Amino acid sequence: MKVINPVLKMDMPDVDVIKVNDVYYMVSTTMFFTPGAPILRSKDLKNWEIVSYIFEKIEDNDIYELKNGKNAYGACQWATSLAYHKGKFYAAFVCNDMKKTYIFHSDDIEKSYWKRFDIDGIYHDMSFLFFDDKIYLVYGNGDIHITELNDNLTGIRKDGLNKLLFSTPSSDDGIMLRCEGCRAYVKDGYIYLTFIEWPKEGFGNFRRRQICYRSKNLNESFERKVIFDDDMGYCNRGIAQGAFIEADDGKWFSMLFQDHGAVGRIPYLIPMKWENGWPVIGIEGKAPSAFDIDITEVATAPLVISDSFEHEDNCLPLQFQWNHNPIKEGWSFTDRPGYLRLRNMQMASSIMDARNTLTERTVTPKSVFTIEGDFSLMKDGDYAGLAAFMGKYGTIGLTKSDGEFYIVSIHKEKVEIKQNVSEIQGFNCNHFWIRIIFDFENDDKAYFYYSVDGKDFIEFGEPLDMEFTLDVFVGYRIGVFSYGTKNLGGVVDFRNLNFSE
């Protein structure tokens, strides 16, 4: 089987991977999208499918309901540690906005919505460590700490080990981003702690790289080594942060991610081996663009899909997530069979505080999304359509004002282009198509289109210069949205979301 890197061409950062029996399971970061913390499954390390989510929602509060100017952008779930221990699956992550660390557990990793325990405080970018019949969290940024958990992983052991393990090089040593993103392993009597770090300009290659610390004892000093530093020729953006994976027949791999512009942070599968008690990632220190694995390829369900919205119940396909918590009464597949109905139940000022925006990942190098809408039940002030969703967003759709329909494209930078549909021959508000083309290989641009017949599409407005921004901290997604700016109760029905690469 041939693996071509990047192994997944979409936003799938902060991975952790475990192998249970003959199945690999991976968790990734989706932050404020719900349901959250997707679990992916693979039997060959190349093909992955989503099988469950760890949580349905974190809280019902202003932060997660986009109320009173609050939100969880750039926060909520990230850098989850995944483990299998004594027949049970565990996952741990921090929500900075809640100032809490959560440990979730389940007997069945492929069943969504696990039980959870809350721990006060932020154990940043932690990793489970199972060593000498004790259970720990190793965490931190620069200063790496360890704390012991109780035997059933419900909280911190009051009389357990809790200390600073070591401090990693800082700005005085030429490091811009100190070590974080821990993953902990025990092999051949050694504890291995692997992190990313980012040297400053003029130090090293001025890009993210993978570091490893090792020791045979938690009370002894740790040795340090740079174990991977490569960008596979892409813009000096280092491939780093992720997991070590022990496969069959003593073979090892590493799954690391790379900042890849507007599409997000995408994972690479890289061969790995052990030499002189150290992990060695890559082939001659490089990430291969392609390599062969002696594993039988097993097909999986796609991670990005088209969807007719013809569903017998209100169960969201696993490929989709809402932006923050949805209003359950505000969406339905069954109110009008064959359609996704969005009902405006909370006022919004823009796509960023609109409830019930349905999202799906994009794919590099190019993603095309098209949808048909029935906008006939909109109220004055409503706006509905498709979004290139990110902090620096762009939208296209229809709005209604004084009983008249307008096609509108809005960019975050206050760019708004509006046209009365009376000027568009053949317009029918019951059947109107819109399209966004995401072009990640030609300067990260998004293009907006409409059609009155579903066949001929007309470009509308200005292209969006897409940019990965840290305020939201996710790759661009398609968003299907409807919100009211003056009234509640407006309805839009969407059908036939079509995706192509």
**Active-site choice (11, 14, 372, 374):** 14
180 is catalytic: yes
Is residue 365 classed as helix, strand or coil in its secondary structure? coil
- CA 448 – CA 470 distance, rounded (Å): 24
Structure tokens at 394: 């762009």
Structure token digits, residue 12: 């799938």
| 39 neighbors 59 (Cβ within 8 angstroms) | no
8 in helix, strand or coil? coil
What residue type is 356 in one-letter code? Answer: N
Whole-number Å distance between alpha carbons of 12 and 428: 39
- Residues 11, 148, 180, 493: which is the catalytic one? 180
Per the annotation, the verdict on 14 as an active-site residue is yes
Q: Which amino acid is at 113?
A: Y
Confirm if 169 and 175 have CB atoms less than 8 A apart: yes
Strands (E), 306-393: 321-323, 331-332, 340-343, 358-361, 366-374, 382-389
| Other C-beta atoms lying within 10 Å of the C-beta of residue 348 | 19
Which single residue is written with the structure tokens 């090293």? 204
Residue 441, Ramachandran bin (φ over 0: left; ψ between -120 and 50: alpha; else beta): alpha
- Three-state secondary structure of 164-181: EEEECCCHHHCEEEEEEE
Residue 241: which of 482, 497, 12 has the closest Cα?
12
Kindly list the distances between the CA atom of residue 501 and the CA atoms of 360, 367, 371, 437, 441, in Å, as whole numbers in the listed order.
Answer: 14, 5, 15, 9, 12
Residue with tokens 């000498």: 132
DSSP assignment string, 258-317: EE-GGG-EEEEEEEEEEETTEEEESBTTB--SEEE-SS-------SS--B----SSS---
DSSP per-residue string spanning 35-72: SEEEEEEESSSS--EEEEEEES-S--STTTTT-TT---
Q: Which residues are catalytic?
A: 14, 180
